[in-house]
Chains A and B, each alone.
Chain A
């Protein structure tokens, strides 16, 4: 037992969790914690907007597999942080978000910078805590990390009233906590796994659909072994990119609204889908009535509420995916036989070889698909790529082949523009040994580009590639296709000069006009010790194809050549 302040206890508890970096911005209601930070070995990365602080912690967590930590003051600090925490919630990133709060005796009086943070955060976190006494802090921090990092991982919020930070008490730091209503570590039921294998072996046209859960649970190695042993093709969701190396012959790429032709076709021809750590989002399934109409779905997930939430499953295996896939692989090897899949393999090869290297619907060679393929050639396999949201994200999903897990970081569920750049900075803090690139659009970059100051100050150099079409490109694409080219509020009249903008922050800026210039700018940026912004002016009417329009099924993709 130690006698200390709540702030000291918070920092000590974070250290006990192995935290090495915290992303945040101070303010009145969290000053005691910041003051205590100076006495610790924790690194603090100062953001320039709280939303970016949360995205940095998110990028850190996704790149490292550890829990990210972000911090903000009460009121506007907490509301600004919220978008970043919601992003983490929808993508199941383990995060602990700490906000200051007015003292307990002022709560409910509309005090300066007071909002009901627990009320707000409850909806975008696994749990929101508000310790009422300093001695509750050690347990709360342990519980927060336990909740964030187990089961279906996700963000947890701790709201700290200022008097709880300053008050002193005897502190006991628990090694384990028990929460009665939370039982995360259920091992898979072997009988359920065996049944899944039976269904697989009975099938004639099986396909694996890999989601973000594969990467989060570290099940990618078993997934690859299963796919290779059984020679089953693997499609992925956006969050599942990296679950299998995308240059692998069995990899089909992403399924969904902007899925590859081969993935969308073969998912819809399959008679069995092994769905692993996916949640069947509407962007993945498109019209559910036309999603894999002939397929039985065998759903592996750690979260029982995902089963049959969006698409009815024929069978489910609930539990940690790594354990479940290991067991499935063992059982598969013991049975020592595969299904009758020869005809299906020929069909998979036929579709895949026809489509996998095709680039669809571009206006020139200096267009995003070619740029992203060039980027893949320049970057080492372990480089981390973050994306913004919109066309840049979908081009990256379609044309940038991810080779390793945790090297593709994108806001899938919330789709928060402005995510990529701060997330890249957070990833760099986790992995200073690899190049980190943000594939950006000019619209998204403008939302959090003030993080340039953070990347320079904190010596966290990343590379920003702006696919610059001087517009909100994805909305403009929809307006071209569905709104009779009526560009309501999507075309930017005045964009900054991104080269000079970068330079004004102390970063490098360069504009490129050809693929060769792009390659050399990228190679040079990898050798530079500060952040580089590469401005790539692209044709403003480049669209992303394939495109399954809203209300359509996966079989009804537009390919950008007038064909459907």
Chain B
């Protein structure tokens, strides 16, 4: 990455839903040694079409040039860069918590929610939904206190708000 402040970059890609697409997109990042911070993929309302939200850090010019590279990738139908200031972002995490973990998790504040899915013995499986920052601080606090046995995060999904 060339100079300039390494701000948050969010790409929203509409792609073909078929084998090899993630490989083709990821290899464009790999070739330039860009580190993907998070990627979330899911099928859209059209079964032949998926959406990928990819976040990374980098400077503005690089992000803009790379958007053109992504849009040249043949399985990529549409590329949008989302403006972090006008974008709603959410992430989901599944948490396996040891004794005392749930109480500690509930004490963590932030833009998000926590709920229990199942409890058995001393172990609880909970989910948290919220801003990526909320999920990160939850994971950090729980991890530091050794009550987090396992975590699975979805990566960030994002939508730009319409009201301009």
Contacts and interface: CB of A to CB of B under 8 A. Distances in A.
B87 interface: no
A562 interface: no
Contacts of A127: 74
Contacts of A182: 74
B6 interface: no
Contacts of A181: 15-16, 73-77
A288 to B, nearest CB: 12
Nearest to A312: B61
Interface in A293-311: 303-305, 307-309
B27 A180 contact: no
A305 B74 contact: no
B20 interface: yes
Contact of B27 (A123, A305, A308): A123
B68 A304 contact: yes
A119 interface: yes
B147 to A, nearest CB: 41
A119 B26 CA distance: 12
Contacts of A521: none
Contacts of A123: 27, 31
Interface size class of A (residues with CB under 8 A): 10 to 19
Contacts of B16: 180-181
Contact of B72 (A122, A179, A305): A305
A305 B69 contact: yes
A147 interface: yes
B27 A122 contact: yes
Contacts of B68: 304-305, 307
B65 interface: yes
A142 interface: no
Interface in A154-194: 179-182
Contacts of B31: 123
Interface in A16-38: none
A98 to B, nearest CB: 18
Contacts of B153: none
A330 to B, nearest CB: 28
Nearest to A126: B74
Contacts of A308: 65
Interface string B15-31: 11000100110010001
Contact of A309 (B15, B65, B76): B65
A375 B18 CA distance: 54
A412 B161 CA distance: 47
A181 B68 CA distance: 12
A181 B25 CA distance: 13
Nearest to B78: A181
A305 B62 CA distance: 12
Find the residue from B23, B73, B74, B76 having the highest chain A CB count within 10 A: B74
A118 interface: yes
Contact of A122 (B24, B65, B76, B77): B24
Contact of B20 (A118, A179, A307): A118
B23 A119 contact: yes
Interface string B40-82: 0000000000000000000000000100110011111100000
Contacts of A305: 65, 68-69, 72
B23 A304 contact: no
Nearest to B61: A308
A133 to B, nearest CB: 14
A119 B76 CA distance: 17
A236 to B, nearest CB: 25
B65 A179 contact: no
Interface string A351-372: 0000000000000000000000
B61 to A, nearest CB: 8
A179 B75 CA distance: 8
A147 B75 CA distance: 12
Contacts of B27: 122-123
Interface string A98-129: 00000000000000000000110011001100
A462 B117 CA distance: 76
B1 to A, nearest CB: 15
B109 to A, nearest CB: 43
Contacts of B74: 126-127, 147, 179, 181-182
A29 to B, nearest CB: 20
B2 to A, nearest CB: 12
Interface in B121-148: none
Interface in B66-107: 68-69, 72-77
B23 A122 contact: yes
A119 B19 CA distance: 12
A73 B75 CA distance: 26
A123 to B, nearest CB: 7
A65 to B, nearest CB: 23
Nearest to B20: A118
Given A123-B27, A147-B74, A179-B74, 10 more contacts: A118-B20, A122-B23, A122-B24, A122-B27, A127-B74, A181-B15, A181-B74, A181-B77, A304-B72, A309-B65
29 contacts: A118-B20, A119-B23, A122-B20, A122-B23, A122-B24, A122-B27, A123-B31, A126-B74, A147-B74, A179-B74, A180-B16, A180-B77, A181-B15, A181-B16, A181-B73, A181-B74, A181-B75, A181-B76, A181-B77, A182-B74, A303-B72, A304-B68, A304-B72, A305-B65, A305-B69, A305-B72, A307-B68, A308-B65, A309-B65
